[in-house]
Amino acid sequence: MRLKSTALVAGLLASLSAVAHAESQSPLLKDLKFADPALAECVNAWANEDINLYTYAHEVKELACAHSGIQNLDGIEQLPELLALDLSHNPISSYQPLGLLKQRLGFLWLWGNDIRCSELVTLRKLVPFAWIGGASLETCVADEQ
């Protein structure tokens, strides 16, 4: 019985140590820099929601930034654990920065965004494992000839 208790305590200590290590390696959300003030505002607002209360970048797993006026996604890679991202109804100029999240990003919402067909094809290559809602080859904006 004592051996099981010792193993349990050792396991708990190891888990706490891993969490502490992750936090020491992850930047504080308040220290992140984004090219677009609207993206920075969305991240800060989302982090301070009553249900979230995030402190570190690695804690952010989902982000809802619909209708935020975001034009530039530079800096989004500072949220390396991001799994779900709602960028619906934003005038985004380039989706290239999302390619830096390709290993984790699983859900991407782009409803109401005017995305060119060539951008959508590139985006599919950048985030090959992501489900993309609101953007398809049937609904994308045709490229100018």
Q: What is the pLDDT of residue 141?
A: 84
Whether the pTM exceeds 0.85: the reply is no
CATH at residue 97: 3.80.10.10
Range of the domain at 83: 28-133
Could you tell me the CA-to-CA distances from 63 to 25, 93, 100, 133 in Å, in that order? 21, 19, 16, 15
Does a structural domain hold residue 22? no
pLDDT in tens, 112-144: 998 888 999 989 888 888 899 998 888 788 887
pLDDT in tens, 82-109: 999 999 999 999 999 999 887 789 999 9
pLDDT in tens, 2-41: 555 565 555 554 544 444 444 457 899 999 999 999 999 9
Coil/strand/helix, residue 62: strand
Does a structural domain hold residue 75? yes
Count of domains for the chain = 1
What would the mean pLDDT of 47-71 be, rounded to a whole number?
Answer: 90
Q: How far apart are CA 80 and CA 16, in angstroms?
A: 21
> What does the block give as tokens for 125?
């290559």
